[in-house]
Amino acid sequence: MQLTPENILLVSSVLLILSIIASKTAGRAGIPVLLLFLGVGMLAGSDGFGKIAFDNPAAAQFLGVIALTYILFSGGLDTKWESIKPVMGPGMVLSTLGVLLTAVSVGLFAIWVGDFSWKEGLLLGAIVSSTDAAAVFSILRNKSIGLKGNLRPLLELESGSNDPMAFFLTIGLTSWLSLEGFSPIDLVPMFLKQMILGAAVGYGLAKGCVFLVNRINLEYEGLYPVLMLGLVLMIYTVTDRIGGNGFLAVYLAGITMNQSRILHYKSYIRFFDGIAWLMQIMMFLTLGLLVFPSQVVPVIGIGFLISLFLIFVARPLGVWVSLLFFRFNTREKLFISWVGLRGAVPIVFATFPLIAGLEKSNLIFNIVFFIVIASVSLQATTLAKVAKWLHLAVPEGLKRKSLLDIELSDGFKNALLEIELPQDAGVNGKKILDLNFPKTSLIVLVNRGNKYITPTGATELLSGDKLMVMTNSETEEQKIKDILK
């Protein structure tokens, strides 16, 4: 089937609806939803049942960049500074040094096992060097995997902030291979320019957006998210036009807006959560259409070897070296290493060599595609099991939940939690007064056998109680969980 103006809307709507409906069954079967979207695109493509002819890397790259822009912004908008502040140091080291070590080690291994020049091998390593924000956000947040300590904010911070480094390495190495007179020395000022401008412009424009939104006084509330759609794209394009890293800019802009007093903040959270899902589906479907499975089959052998090396050697090497001077135990480092998910971002990055017309760009693209399938299939399906195996999972009753779907004012910073005490709770029979609860937190309601109790300091807690806890700081969550074990 040829994509024409007459049938493109029909095809798009059918693929979107099928992907969402199939995701419900796939989730119950343990199949990663993102892998399902990719599979639907492949089945609809030229080698699949749909026979849709789509061989346009430039269009796929364009859509991928737009999708990643909104996914990163949504991730940043839903990331609280209080939660990532304690892990800012290790997160930034993982996002830079960790990515560089992964790229170099995978590149050297690809040179050894494949027919690549050292430049081509390093380019392949750079393309798959970062964890995928879309994959990590969707799995950690939507599957509600409870993790001890600061592991979850660290993993989310790393996945949201390491794409700029991988993007820089991919663009730099592609330029080195395709442009005459380009020198590795040129990468140093390019890196500094991209990162400094990306951070500065992202923060500055975010503050400007907050000022605009709070004072524009639109007649219809529904126009505010639409306005924000345009502002996010503006942040990316302005940053990119002046030589900064647009991905870093939009992610930092999201975090900055989260920290600011901005009108209709909760409306933006809901709106961009939906937009992020739409962008993920669109990105995976498009990349699934772009790939030819018949061309991936011949690279399964080398792709499998590189995938194993990436998962079991390169990623752990980057994690261990990056966290050398930070207080993380072996179990935590092992889990961080396992959450090295590769998703649609490496496939998007692999289109840059294709568009540049590099000699082995098609081979690199197909190997990257196989690596992504292997990573999502193996790692995404086992995250919860590995967390339990390493004793890093929070007990089921101590996971954070949303108790009531209520609309609080935009300036309201308190978190409302529901915590169910496990059957063997250590606080069984203890009075609330004796719990040494944080001063900024309060148990406001106890659900015991579907009967509600307004607690006082003398109220004794029992195993199986469901507690409504209000806290004004996410940093207190872990303390609360530790006390209520």
* DSSP output for 330-342: HHHHHHHHH----
The DSSP bridge partners found for residue 452 are: 447
Tell the residue number behind the tokens 């939104």, with chain if given.
213
Q: pLDDT digits over 263-309, tens only?
A: 888 788 889 988 988 888 888 888 888 888 888 899 999 999 999 99
| Out of 28-37, 157-166, 206-215, 384-393, least confident range | 28-37
Average of pLDDT values for 17-28?
68
Which residue did the predictor score with more confidence, 353 or 470?
353
| Distance in angstroms (rounded) separating the CA atoms of residues 148 and 78 | 19
Q: pLDDT digits over 114-165, tens only?
A: 889 999 999 999 999 988 776 776 666 555 566 777 888 898 889 888 888 9
Q: Please provide residue 338's backbone torsions phi and psi, each rounded to the nearest 5 degrees.
A: -70, -25
Q: Cβ-count burial of 294 within 10 angstroms (0-12 exposed, 13-18 middle, 19+ buried)?
A: exposed
pLDDT band at 6 (very low <50, low <70, confident <90, very high): low
pLDDT of residue 354: 92
pLDDT band at 403 (very low <50, low <70, confident <90, very high): very low
Checking if the pLDDT of 476 tops 80, the result is no
Tell the residue number behind the tokens 């820089």, with chain if given.
168
- CA-wise closest residue to 335 among 277, 379, 373, 271: 379
Checking if the pLDDT of 189 tops 50, the result is yes
Q: pLDDT digits over 100-111, tens only?
A: 999 999 999 999
User: From the CB of residue 352, how many other CB atoms can be counted at a distance below 10 Å?
Assistant: 22
Entry pTM: 0.77
| Distance in angstroms (rounded) separating the CA atoms of residues 300 and 304 | 6
| Distance in angstroms (rounded) separating the CA atoms of residues 424 and 67 | 45
- Please answer whether residues 371 and 291 qualify as being in contact, where contact means their C-beta atoms are separated by less than 8 angstroms: no
Most confident of 1-15, 290-304, 309-323, 329-343: 309-323
DSSP H or E run through 235: helix 223-241
| Distance in angstroms (rounded) separating the CA atoms of residues 5 and 7 | 6
pLDDT band at 395 (very low <50, low <70, confident <90, very high): low
The DSSP bridge partners found for residue 309 are: none
Start-to-end CA span in the chain (Å)? 58
Which residue did the predictor score with more confidence, 236 or 432?
236
Average of pLDDT values for 21-37?
64
User: From the CB of residue 184, how many other CB atoms can be counted at a distance below 10 Å?
Assistant: 10
Average of pLDDT values for 408-418?
58
| Distance in angstroms (rounded) separating the CA atoms of residues 465 and 450 | 9
pLDDT of residue 149: 77
Q: How far is CA 32 from CA 35, 390, 458, in A?
A: 5, 22, 47
Checking if the pLDDT of 352 tops 80, the result is yes
The DSSP bridge partners found for residue 53 are: 2
Domains detected in the chain: 8-389 (1.20.1530.20), 396-483 (3.30.70.1450)
DSSP H or E run through 467: strand 466-471
Checking if the pLDDT of 88 tops 60, the result is yes
DSSP, collapsed to helix, strand or coil, labels residue 5 as coil
- Helix 99-113 and helix 315-322: axis angle, to 10°? 150
Q: Cβ-count burial of 60 within 10 angstroms (0-12 exposed, 13-18 middle, 19+ buried)?
A: buried
Average pLDDT, the chain: 84
Average of pLDDT values for 35-52?
77
Checking if the pLDDT of 319 tops 80, the result is yes
